[in-house]
């Protein structure tokens, strides 16, 4: 980190909102003291006093100065770890093969892949015509495009059906407001068709001159309108095709794998609705497949004369149906794969001769192959106790080869081509970990903690073989537990910097995910959300009781909704943890969910509840980390955020830290670090993001007295 000096005087910000004292040596900077400016927030006859509501204004110079003061304080506290941070950065970077390339996949006459060059932060997107021996065509060199930008993100890369044009989205702020650009792949020219305020993705019609895109609301960032654009025309004249007027829904558009249909998806937490139109007829009308019904979820794929529909219709863990393209409403759906109480249907991949099904059973990912003609089926074998397997990029129907990915806490990310007819697999690429990495040096397994209500809570765990499980090991427990998102046990070369220093690393598969099926999710949301937090603490207690670690060496980490998790667990049982890292934490739950101008609010009432309803207000208030801060000892904490975060606004963690400073009764370090140039995902560069991880690890090591 750069060493910023302060004058050897007390610096009083003239706005009078807060004061920072300091002296010439940054090591002696005192933590910022944010002034209380009470604001009353009243609903349901209940009044909350928010002393730090004034931080909700990123355009206010006073707010920026406060965030920068917090950054200076964080810098001063972590200054003794500067050399360690640099060592960690170089250590993590040294394991990564800088000159690297993805496994090419074939589509519409070309092999597509991305690659990295040594010393470069961003990918280069390429293709080769017909054969891998052909000359390389560089479609986008993001390193060149990103010059002069503090942040640069490309998404939605999509080649036109005639292979001549490339659509892609660019975000240079990290607010996830993408501008769509079009590149002529024959001449290299960037066309004038620049379309701002989109999701970045474009869906081409088959005429290669018309595409459809999704516009975002400038304030809430909700994806709410679909437009049609014809090349060469001013986007201001683009025709609006669809407007999603329900503020609890968002929308998007994509093309079917068959390339025959364009599909508009409208989605909320609990409901879906799809519309379809022939891709050969961009001037046609979209037709509804099945009108939305509250609680009815479905996803659509096309093959032959049918739409294949994964749905929860009378099926909590989902089942697979199909319906003729000309008769699509649910009374015409016929069953292909029935509902199963013990198997969660994650998704499908359709081939001419085979149906590939992604399932989760007892928490583990399975890939099932079904022969269309004979209906014979089998599962691909995986050997490890804890792993992650998934279907990868498979754009071709007419092949017997399935591409899938595999990884575990000890197995680097691997890409396989699997012949579904002969059942032979070919390893196309495994992530190369430079240095002396040997997977046999590490042990991974699954543990089961017991919650207070008797529920068994699974954990995936990894550590270096040879450590003594005597209760003296440092440990890091990671969790998320919201939206039904499951944190699968994947390999991380970065994590080796923990394991090789004797850490135990564990993932808590708590309720609120779908690790054990749909019910597992439903038991950790809305009026059962508290299960998510108590499950995590029960996992922590299990690690302590089973001598994997102790409270003086146990750390917790989570980000976004996982940051909410961090805030809740330390309010409930702070004594379990030596320290906590809360990244972009969603901690001001009630106030945020009452403000429908904030991105994501309206679309998440079915996840958290609508606090305008008193029952949900009372329940959310009972766990909202910001509201539940109390006069007690808290563990050491590092809280991170991004000024331009579009998912969790920066002021939530800023307010939380300010309130903790005022109320907590301990002397443990409390740090807030704001990335002033980034948003929810942090730095955009391949290696620059490692510096943020190095800071987090250095914070943990500092609490343990680890200096190397």
Of all residues in the chain, the percent with pLDDT exceeding 90 is 88
Residues annotated as catalytic (active site), given as ranges = 560, 645, 680
pLDDT higher than threshold 90 for residue 603: no
Q: State the pLDDT at residue 18.
A: 35
Strand partners, 204: 211
Of all residues in the chain, the percent with pLDDT exceeding 70 is 95
Q: State the pLDDT at residue 8.
A: 28
> HEC profile for 545-581?
HCCCCCCCCEEEEEECHHHHHHHHHHHHCHHHCCEEE
Mean pLDDT of 479-503: 97
Q: State the pLDDT at residue 683.
A: 64
Q: State the pLDDT at residue 684.
A: 65
Q: State the pLDDT at residue 680.
A: 64
Gyration radius (Cα) of the chain, Å:
26
Contact present, 45 and 23 (Cβ < 8 Å): no
pLDDT higher than threshold 80 for residue 17: no
Q: How far apart are CA 705 and CA 708, in angstroms?
A: 9
Mean pLDDT of 104-124: 95
pLDDT higher than threshold 90 for residue 626: yes
Q: State the pLDDT at residue 339.
A: 98
Q: State the pLDDT at residue 1.
A: 30
Q: State the pLDDT at residue 143.
A: 95
For 546-567, write each residue's pLDDT tens digit: 999 999 999 999 999 999 999 9
Q: In which residue are the tokens 């994501």 written?
A: 600
Burial of 345 (C-beta count, 10 Å sphere; 0-12/13-18/19+): buried
Q: State the pLDDT at residue 646.
A: 73
Q: State the pLDDT at residue 292.
A: 97
Q: State the pLDDT at residue 205.
A: 98
Residue by residue, DSSP assigns 342-362 as TEEEEEEEE-SSEEEEEEEET
Q: How far apart are CA 190 and CA 424, in angstroms?
A: 44
| Domain 62-93+440-704 = CATH 3.10.580.10 | no
- The pLDDT-based confidence of 211 (bands split at 50, 70, 90) is very high
For 340-375, write each residue's pLDDT tens digit: 999 999 999 999 999 999 999 999 999 999 999 999
Mean pLDDT of 305-334: 98
Q: 211 in helix, strand or coil?
A: strand
For 188-207, write each residue's pLDDT tens digit: 999 999 999 999 999 999 99
> HEC profile for 605-646?
HHHHCCCCCHHHHHHHHHHCCCCCCCCCCCCEEEEEEECCCC
Mean pLDDT of 371-389: 95
Burial of 501 (C-beta count, 10 Å sphere; 0-12/13-18/19+): middle
Task: Give the single-character DSSP code of 531.
Answer: H
Question: Which candidate, 456, 666, 693, 687, places its Cα nearest to that of 557?
Answer: 693
- The pLDDT-based confidence of 596 (bands split at 50, 70, 90) is confident
Question: Which candidate, 189, 185, 129, places its Cα nearest to that of 157?
Answer: 185
For 62-106, write each residue's pLDDT tens digit: 999 999 999 999 999 999 999 999 999 999 999 999 999 999 999
Write down the domain spans for the chain.
62-93+440-704
Q: Residue 311: which residues within 8 A CB-CB, separation 6 or more?
A: 296, 297, 298, 299, 318, 319, 320, 321, 333
- The pLDDT-based confidence of 209 (bands split at 50, 70, 90) is very high
Q: Residue 295: which residues within 8 A CB-CB, separation 6 or more?
A: 270, 271, 312
For 639-691, write each residue's pLDDT tens digit: 999 998 777 889 999 999 999 999 999 999 999 999 987 666 666 678 888 99
For 246-295, write each residue's pLDDT tens digit: 998 999 999 999 999 999 999 998 999 999 999 999 999 999 999 999 99
pLDDT higher than threshold 60 for residue 155: yes
The residue that leads in pLDDT, 445 or 383, is 445
pLDDT higher than threshold 90 for residue 108: yes
Question: Which candidate, 144, 143, 140, places its Cα nearest to that of 156?
Answer: 140
pLDDT higher than threshold 60 for residue 182: yes
Q: State the pLDDT at residue 7.
A: 26
- Mean pLDDT over the full length of the chain: 93
């Amino acid at each position: 980190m750069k060493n910023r000096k302060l004058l050897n005087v007390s610096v009083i910000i003239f706005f009078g909102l807060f004061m920072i004292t300091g002296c010439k040596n940054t090591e002696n900077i005192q933590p910022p003291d944010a002034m209380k400016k009470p604001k009353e927030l009243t609903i349901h006859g209940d009044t909350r006093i928010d002393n730090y509501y004034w931080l909700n204004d990123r355009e206010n110079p006073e707010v920026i100065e406060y965030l920068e003061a917090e950054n200076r304080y964080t810098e001063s506290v972590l200054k003794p770890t500067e050399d360690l941070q640099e060592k960690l950065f170089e250590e993590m970077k040294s394991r990564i093969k800088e000159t690297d390339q993805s496994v090419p996949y074939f589509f519409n006459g070309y092999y597509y892949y991305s690659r990295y060059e040594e010393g470069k932060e961003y990918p280069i997107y390429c293709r080769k015509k017909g054969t891998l021996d052909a000359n390389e065509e560089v479609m986008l060199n993001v390193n060149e495009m990103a010059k002069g930008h503090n942040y640069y993100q490309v998404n939605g890369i999509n080649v036109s059906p005639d292979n001549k044009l490339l659509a892609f989205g660019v975000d240079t702020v990290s607010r996830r407001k993408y501008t769509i650009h079009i590149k002529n792949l024959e001449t290299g020219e960037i066309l004038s068709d620049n379309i701002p305020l989109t999701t970045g993705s474009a869906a081409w019609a088959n005429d290669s001159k018309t595409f459809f895109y999704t516009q975002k609301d400038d304030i809430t960032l909700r994806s709410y309108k679909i437009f049609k654009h014809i090349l060469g025309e001013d986007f201001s004249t683009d025709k609006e095709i669809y407007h999603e007027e329900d503020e609890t829904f968002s929308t998007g558009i994509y093309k079917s794998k068959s390339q025959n249909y364009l599909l508009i998806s409208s989605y909320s937490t609990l409901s879906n609705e799809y519309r379809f139109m022939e891709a050969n007829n961009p001037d046609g009308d979209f037709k509804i497949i099945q009108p939305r019904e509250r609680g009815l979820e479905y996803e659509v794929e096309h093959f032959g004369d049918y739409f294949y529909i994964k749905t929860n219709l009378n099926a909590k863990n989902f089942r697979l149906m199909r319906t003729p393209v000309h008769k699509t409403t649910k009374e015409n759906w016929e069953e292909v794969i029935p509902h199963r109480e013990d198997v969660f249907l994650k998704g499908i991949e359709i081939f001419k001769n085979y149906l590939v099904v992604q399932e989760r059973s007892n928490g583990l990912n399975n890939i099932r192959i079904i022969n269309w003609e004979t209906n014979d089926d089998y599962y691909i074998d995986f050997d490890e106790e804890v792993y992650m397997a998934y279907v990868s990029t498979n754009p071709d129907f007419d092949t017997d080869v399935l591409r899938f990915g595999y990884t575990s806490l000890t197995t680097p990310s691997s890409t396989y081509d699997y012949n579904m007819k002969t059942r032979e697999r070919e390893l196309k690429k495994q992530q190369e970990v430079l240095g002396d990495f040997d997977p046999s040096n590490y042990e991974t397994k699954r543990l089961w903690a017991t919650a207070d209500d008797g529920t068994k809570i699974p954990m995936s765990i990894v550590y270096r073989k040879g450590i003594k499980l005597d209760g003296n090991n440092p440990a890091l427990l990671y969790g998320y537990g919201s939206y039904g998102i499951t944190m699968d046990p994947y390999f991380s070369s970065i994590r080796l910097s923990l394991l090789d220093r004797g850490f135990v690393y564990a993932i808590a598969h708590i309720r609120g995910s779908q690790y054990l099926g749909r019910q597992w999710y439903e038991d950790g949301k809305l009026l059962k959300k508290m299960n998510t937090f108590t499950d995590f603490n029960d996992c922590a207690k299990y690690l302590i009781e089973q001598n994997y670690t102790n409270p003086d060496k146990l750390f917790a980490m989570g980000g976004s909704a996982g940051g909410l998790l961090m805030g809740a667990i330390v309010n409930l049982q702070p004594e379990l943890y030596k320290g906590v890292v809360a990244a972009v934490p969603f901690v001001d739950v009630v106030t945020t969910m009452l403000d429908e101008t904030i991105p994501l609010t309206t679309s998440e009432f079915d996840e958290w509840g609508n606090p305008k309803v008193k029952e949900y207000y009372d329940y959310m208030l009972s766990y909202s980390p910001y509201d539940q801060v109390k006069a007690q000892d808290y563990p050491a904490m590092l809280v991170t955020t991004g000024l331009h975060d579009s998912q969790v606004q920066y002021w939530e963690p800023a307010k939380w830290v300010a309130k903790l400073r005022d109320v907590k009764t301990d002397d443990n370090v409390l740090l807030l670090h704001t990335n002033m140039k980034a948003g929810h995902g942090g730095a955009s560069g391949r290696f620059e993001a490692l510096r943020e991880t190095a800071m987090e690890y250095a914070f943990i090591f500092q609490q343990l007295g680890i200096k190397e």
